[in-house]
Amino acid sequence: MSLKHFSLLATITAVLLVAVNCGILTQHADSVPENCLKRKPIQSNYTPEGSEITLGNLTIYETTEKNSTRLIISIYDAFGFSNNNVKEVADRLSKVQGGFRVIVPDFYRGEFWHGDPDVFPPPDMEDLLAWLEEVGSWEDRVQWDLINIVEHYRAEGVEEFAVYGMCWGGTMSLLASIYLPDYLRVAAYIHPTLIPDELAPAVRIPTFLMPTMEDPDLTQFYEILRQNFGNNTAHWRFEDMLHGFASARGDFSDPRTALRIEEMINLLGFFFNRILNIGK
C-alpha cells in the first residue's frame, strides 16, 4: 500500500473535507439519489439470533459469534434499528470465512425516520436530511460512537475492526474510512447514499464499493482507490438490484434478491477476511 503517493492528494483534499465533513448530506442534497427516497421498508419475518448490550446510552446488537479477534461494525440505513434485514445480514456474515464478531449499533438511540417507516418517501427531503443531521451527525455522534465501540471491544480482546454501511450508513462508512484509520482496518459501502468522487483520495483504508444499478457510477472513485491500495480494494456493481436491496427495503424472500444477498455476504466476508489477515 503506497501511503506516500496519496499524501499529496490527501492534503489537497483536506481543504475540501473541512467543508464536507460538516453536514455532508445537507451540503450535497442535490446529489442524494432520487432512488434513495422512493421505496418504503418491508416487514421482515426474520428473528435475530443475537442479543443486545448497552454502552452508555448506545444499544448494540451483537451476533452470537463471540470468539473472534476480528469485529465488523454494521451501520444501518435511515430506517434504523427496528428493521431485521440488517441484523440478518450481520448474523450471516458472522459465520463466513472462519467467523467474525459482527455488531449493529443503534446510533439513532431508538429513533428512525419520523418514528414511522410509512412516512416515506419523505414529503420534504430537506426534513429527512435535517433529521439525519440531528440523530446521525457524523461530527457530534457517529464518530464518537465508533471510537467508543472500538475502545470497548479492544478491551474485550478484539484486535482488528472493519466497518460497512448501507445507504446513509454507506456515507458514514466513507467518513469512517477517511477519519478513523487508527481505529478501522477496512470498510465497505453498500448502495451508499452519497459517495462524492472528490473524496476518494482522502480514503485511508482498503475499501470495497458495492453500488447497485440505481446508484451513481463509482468507477472513477474505484480507479483512485486502485492507485492508492492496489488490489486491496474492490468494486462490485449489483447490476440487477435496486438501491436498498440489502437493507430495510430488500425483499429477502424474492429468489433473485436472496441470491444477491448471499453473494454480497460472501464477497464481503472474503474481502474482510483477506484484509484483516494481513497483519497476522
The residues that touch ligand NAG, with contacts defined as CB under 6 A, are: 56-57, 67, 109, 230-231
Pairing relation of β-strands 51-55 and 58-62?
antiparallel
Q: What is the closest distance, in whole angstroms, from the C-beta atom of residue 274 to ligand NAG in the complex?
A: 7
Q: What minimum distance in Å lies between the beta carbon of 39 and ligand NAG?
A: 28
By C-beta, is 234 or 261 nearer to ligand NAG? 234
Grid cell digits, residue 220: 472513477
The residue among 46 and 236 lying less far from ligand NAG, judged by its C-beta, is 236
Q: How many whole angstroms separate alpha carbon 259 and alpha carbon 246?
A: 11
d(CA 69, CA 64): 14
Whole-angstrom Cα distance, residue 188 to residue 18?
23
Place of cell 478513523: 180
Burial label for 57, CB within 10 Å (0-12, 13-18, 19+), is: exposed
Q: Which is nearer to ligand NAG, 47 or 231 (CB)?
A: 231
Find the shortest distance in angstroms from Cβ 218 to ligand NAG: 20
- Shortest distance (Å) from residue 151 CB to ligand NAG: 14
Question: Which residue's CB is nearer to ligand NAG, number 46 or number 270?
Answer: 270
Length of the chain equals 280
Nearer to ligand NAG, 47 or 57 (CB): 57
Q: Which is nearer to ligand NAG, 40 or 109 (CB)?
A: 109
Q: What is the CA radius of gyration of the chain?
A: 17
Cα-to-chain-centroid distance, residue 48 = 19
Return the number of other C-beta atoms located less than 10 Å from residue 271's C-beta: 23
Give least dist CB 53 to ligand NAG, A: 15
Nearest distance, CB of residue 76 and ligand NAG, angstroms: 16
